[in-house]
């Protein structure tokens, strides 16, 4: 049943196949930290009573729509012009003897989605799948002004991303409280389905803590604890706002359950408890700082209760520990059942992951366990994926230009490593007109992992290897569509 559900879920992203002309991405620069401008991070959850009757939505709609934007993206697609006769023999990797390989001309395709302004100086949270493949981003505000957008950073594991536009004094939404949402509570979904701008739909919270909803394309440690609603959401709503009747952001609309690609009664949103943590980390650090308990877990069920002679019928069973486990160091043992974290009940793995996922390495959590019928509490200091409490900064660095290839290289990010399943390499951040990479059809965003059979780890090294080349040059890596390539130039 779980696999059937996943197979029918369609990511709510509107795409079209229009081919467009050439373009350049507007560069806004990257922030070092969250700014001092008014934002959802500096504004408290409002204490106002819900205006009007339970079915009265005008207050929330009027407050929300100015802060929800329409995101239009352009992405490169490659049209094959001719192929090498060696393609059939070498799995599409091109002619290993330098005969030209696949020559492809880049084309462009348009898509659109939604986003939510979370600071007055232009930070916007949206879905990773809205902007992940984008080479150019245009953001249209509710007042019809348009800006070029820059991706600050993305997190495939939660399907969230932060972009920025060069503007000030913008309306933004306050973060609400997704932890205390009640099933049956009224909510509004605001976005741009089918390119219909500023569309508001209403529904109720149908369920909480949904998981195993969408495929993360191999992303490590997928974080899922979706809010399920019956508010109508369609392609183009991705990245839009799910709000309560106070007009506070309680989730980012991400996916729909559908056999047709259109709304069929169920939609899913990333809860704001995750949105707040992930977006703050992306802005401040360039990647997400995830704390880990370091435990192998499963939900308690009747079979497990019988097999392990557990003294409780609900909770999260601890079946083992990872290396340098934070929970083990604090005193948690195998066969313990985690019943609460920081006083919040953990009846499902998704709830446990949501709570821990909102913390950073080095932060303490209070873990309550049932051990042979006795309740025990442990203060656990969360660790990062490397088994320590350090903050892991996102990769930064200068770009380097190669005249020989006609391209510029930049560092790859953790998100790139997850997406392309590589441990090192350099990213093609610009393909120059009439250069060798353009001739071979290698797209911006591709990853080069080896030059002349030598692994490359940073842009400077790649540029130096190309500068020192003698004779033919062999490139290996992963194209933007995930296909592996080998070119001999």
Cβ atoms of 310 and 278 within 8 Å: the answer is no
Cα 261 to its chain centre, rounded Å, is: 21
Q: Which residues of 79-99 are buried (b: 16+ CB within 10 A; e: fewer)?
A: eeeebbebeeeeebbbbeeee
Strand partners, 321: 295
Q: Is 178 a catalytic residue?
A: no
Pairing of strands 199-210, 226-229: antiparallel
Q: Is 238 a catalytic residue?
A: yes
Cβ atoms of 446 and 456 within 8 Å: the answer is no
Of 95, 159, 416, 479, which one is the catalytic site residue? Answer: 159
Of 129, 135, 157, 206, which one is the catalytic site residue? Answer: 129
CA torsion through residues 117, 164, 43, 351, sign: positive
Q: Is 70 a catalytic residue?
A: no
User: Please, which residues have CB within 8 angstroms of residue 115's CB and are 6 or more apart in sequence?
Assistant: 68, 69, 71, 124, 125, 126, 130, 139, 163, 239, 240
Of 206, 238, 325, 446, which one is the catalytic site residue? Answer: 238
Which sequence positions are flagged as catalytic?
Answer: 129, 159, 238
């Amino acid at each position: 049943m779980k696999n059937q559900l996943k197979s029918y879920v369609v990511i709510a992203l509107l795409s079209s196949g229009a081919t467009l002309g050439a373009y350049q991405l507007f560069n806004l620069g990257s922030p070092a930290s969250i700014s001092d401008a008014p934002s959802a991070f500096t504004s408290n959850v409002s204490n106002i009573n819900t205006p009007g009757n339970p079915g009265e939505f005008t207050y929330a709609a009027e407050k929300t729509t100015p802060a929800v934007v329409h995101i239009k993206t352009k992405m490169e697609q490659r049209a094959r012009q001719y192929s090498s006769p060696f393609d059939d023999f070498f799995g599409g990797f091109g002619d290993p003897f330098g005969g030209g390989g696949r020559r492809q001309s880049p084309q462009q395709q348009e898509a659109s989605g939604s986003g939510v302004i979370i600071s007055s100086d232009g930070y916007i949270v949206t879905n990773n799948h809205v902007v992940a493949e984008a080479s150019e981003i245009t953001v249209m505000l509710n007042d019809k002004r348009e800006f070029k957008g820059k991706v600050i950073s993305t997190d495939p594991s939660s399907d969230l991303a932060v972009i920025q536009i060069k503007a000030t004094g913008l309306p933004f939404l306050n973060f609400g409280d997704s932890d205390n949402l009640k099933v049956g509570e009224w909510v509004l979904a605001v976005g741009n389905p089918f390119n219909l701008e500023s569309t508001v739909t209403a529904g109720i919270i149908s369920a909480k803590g949904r998981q195993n909803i969408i495929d993360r394309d191999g992303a490590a440690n997928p974080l899922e604890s979706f809010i399920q609603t019956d508010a109508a959401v369609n392609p183009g709503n991705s990245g839009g706002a799910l709000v309560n009747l106070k007009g506070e952001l309680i989730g980012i609309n991400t996916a729909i359950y559908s056999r047709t690609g259109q709304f069929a009664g169920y939609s899913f949103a990333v809860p704001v408890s995750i949105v707040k943590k992930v977006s703050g980390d992306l802005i401040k650090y360039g990647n997400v700082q995830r704390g880990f308990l370091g435990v192998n877990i499963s939900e308690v069920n009747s079979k497990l209760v019988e097999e392990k002679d557990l003294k409780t019928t609900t909770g999260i069973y601890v079946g083992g520990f990872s290396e340098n486990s934070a929970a083990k160091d604090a005193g948690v043992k195998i066969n313990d059942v985690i019943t609460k974290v920081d006083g919040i009940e953990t009846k499902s793995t998704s709830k446990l992951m949501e709570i821990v996922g909102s913390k950073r390495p080095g932060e303490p959590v209070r873990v309550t366990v049932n051990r042979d019928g006795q309740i025990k509490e442990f203060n656990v200091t969360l660790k990062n994926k490397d088994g320590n409490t350090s903050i892991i900064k996102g990769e930064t660095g200068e770009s380097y230009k190669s005249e020989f290839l006609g391209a510029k290289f930049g560092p790859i990010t953790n998100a790139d490593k997850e997406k392309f399943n590589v441990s090192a390499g350099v990213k093609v951040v610009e393909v120059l007109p009439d250069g060798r990479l353009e001739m071979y059809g290698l797209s911006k965003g591709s990853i080069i992992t080896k030059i002349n059979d030598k692994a490359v780890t940073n842009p400077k090294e790649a540029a130096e290897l190309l500068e020192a080349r003698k004779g033919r040059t062999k490139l290996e890596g992963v194209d933007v569509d995930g296909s592996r390539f080998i070119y001999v130039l």
